[in-house]
Amino acid sequence: MVTQGRPSTRRPLVLVIGGLDPSGAGLQADIETCFALGCHALPIATGLTIQNTRGLQRVIPASDADLLEQIESLLADVGPVAACKIGMLPSEAAASALGKAISNLPPTVPVILDPVMTASAGGTLMQASLQDCLPLELLARTTLIKPNLREARRLTGADTAEDAGARLSGDAPLPPYALVTGGDAPEKGQVRHLLYRKGQRCAEFSSPHVDGLFHGTGCTLSSAIAAGCARGIPLESAVGMALDYTWGGVRNAFPIGGAQAIPDRRWFWQGEYP
């Protein structure tokens, strides 16, 4: 049983669940983003990845028992969690275990699910059977699911972002919100992001496409949404804030290796970016 411990903290706590990526995505992106947006990240590792900016070589999954032990030990001690973000799910066992674990979080805690299937530089992060069918217990506790267009098509079988977003959101056990991002499919120099609430499109966002190859943009975005919610920003507004924040990071990305650049996540949210 997951319990909540001491009730006070100065920075909102965000439970971030995902893979450890030594090249700058995954949990590192989550921690940096939460810190920049005034929150404290509580990282839970679903697995280790052997990768760099050029590509993914291997994933070493954590066992479902280890995942649960990490969460239970942590939440028995720290103050209340204000939001939760889930990233890399390497196996069905991990997804099922996390579905059970987060079901014990208070119902007011928003859960942001980023169903990342492949590394941005190539390589599979999610078991193929999960790509076809995420566990209902996980979806039922998710507030917003955030696939890119390719992932949304794989999850739903839909041909368009519009159909995929409508199919991904709805009444329980579906998440109420779905954000289909368009960074993998820019149109005429613009990137469109579609937000759905219970099967109906409720907002559309766009930003200029930034040329280049980037690592960890999806992790940055989903963690920024979670951090915004943790700070008390309503979810739909948190999505807009997080998209602005991520675009600013991509626009100022910096290289660390021979391929993809890393978004600059140093921003503190003040409503504007340089």
The percent helix, strand, coil of the chain (3-state, each to 5) is: 35, 25, 40
Structure tokens at 265: 């996540």
* pTM for the model: 0.91
Separation of CA 158 from chain center: 21
The list of the chain residues with pLDDT below 70 reads: 1-9, 120-123, 125-129, 131-132, 267-274
Using an 8 Å Cβ cutoff, are 117 and 126 in contact?
yes
What's the pLDDT at 116?
82
Selection from 253, 185, 267 nearest residue 224 by Cα: 267
What is the pLDDT, as a whole number, of residue 1? 47
Let me know: does 21 contact 49? Beta carbons within 8 Å. yes
pLDDT value, residue 17? 97
CA distances from 108 to 33, 111, 205 (A): 22, 9, 26
| Domain chopping of the chain, boundaries | 13-252
Q: Give the pLDDT of residue 120.
A: 65
CATH superfamily of 13-252: Ribokinase (3.40.1190.20)
Please give the pLDDT value at position 272: 43
The pLDDT score that the predictor gives to residue 94 is 87
Q: Give pLDDT, residue 172.
A: 87
- Residues 6 or more apart from 70 whose CB is under 8 A from it? 44, 45, 62
